[in-house]
């Protein structure tokens, strides 16, 4: 089984390369950054399981400020300890910050151009689609085996309804999930229903 412990021996150079890929390709912010994190750390390099990435992402949502920075720090720490935390943050923030500053300066010059405004108008549906795709992927990774899987699906449906209504704050929903986990999911294997057996 691919596991974070196996990644502890990876070089910091490999870790920096992975985060540079994320930093320089995550056009569009949140959804694309999460997609690239999952692709690089879970699917391509196997440093984390899907379950570990999902749990870290959920924990990062409880942090103050920009939760993707918290997620980056957690994944760097998980993969290569305290040095990994520093490398991951530096490799994500420095290039992304430089690119953002350059693009912002250029955008300020052309922001009123009709073609630019039309092009940016097409970005909304793309970001919405990426967000829905990520939500579905995370939902698959969150569903556990057996009867607990039905509990996961039921809670997922309630959260979707709450999110669409806009009546419940995210903090309340996240803490509700933690309470349900403590009440019903103790002792459940960390592997989600779609993950392979150890071996």
pLDDT score at 187: 56
> Does residue 147 form part of some domain?
no
For residues 78 and 91, give the distance between their C-alpha atoms in angstroms, rounded to a whole number: 16
Q: Whole-model pTM above 0.75?
A: no
> Does residue 24 form part of some domain?
yes
pLDDT in tens, 89-109: 999 999 888 888 887 887 777
> Does residue 77 form part of some domain?
yes
| Mean pLDDT, rounded, for 115-121 | 73
Backbone angles phi, psi at 159, to 5 degrees: -65, -40
- CA angle 165–154–4, rounded 5-degree value: 105
> Does residue 100 form part of some domain?
yes
> Does residue 105 form part of some domain?
yes
First-to-final CA distance of the chain: 5
Q: How many domains does the chain have?
A: 1
> Does residue 108 form part of some domain?
yes
């Amino acid at each position: 089984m691919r596991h974070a412990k196996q990644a502890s021996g990876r070089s910091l150079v490999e870790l920096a390369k992975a985060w540079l890929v994320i930093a320089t390709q995550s056009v569009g912010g949140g959804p694309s950054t999460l997609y690239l994190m999952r692709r690089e750390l879970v699917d391509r390099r196997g440093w984390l399981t899907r379950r570990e990435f999902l749990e870290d992402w959920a924990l990062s949502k409880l942090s103050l400020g920009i939760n993707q920075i918290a997620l980056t720090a957690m994944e760097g720490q998980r993969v290569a300890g305290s040095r990994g935390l520093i490398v991951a943050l530096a490799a994500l923030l420095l290039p992304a910050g430089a690119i953002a500053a350059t693009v912002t300066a250029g955008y300020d010059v052309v922001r009123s151009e009709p073609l630019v405004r039309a092009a940016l108008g097409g970005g909304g549906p793309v970001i919405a689609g990426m967000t829905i795709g990520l939500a579905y992927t995370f939902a698959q990774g969150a569903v556990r085996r057996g009867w607990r899987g039905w509990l996961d699906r039921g809670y997922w449906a309630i959260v979707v309804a709450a999110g669409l209504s806009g009546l419940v704050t995210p903090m309340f929903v996240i803490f509700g999930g933690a309470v349900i986990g403590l009440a019903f999911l103790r002792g459940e294997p960390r592997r989600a229903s779609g993950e392979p057996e150890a071996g």
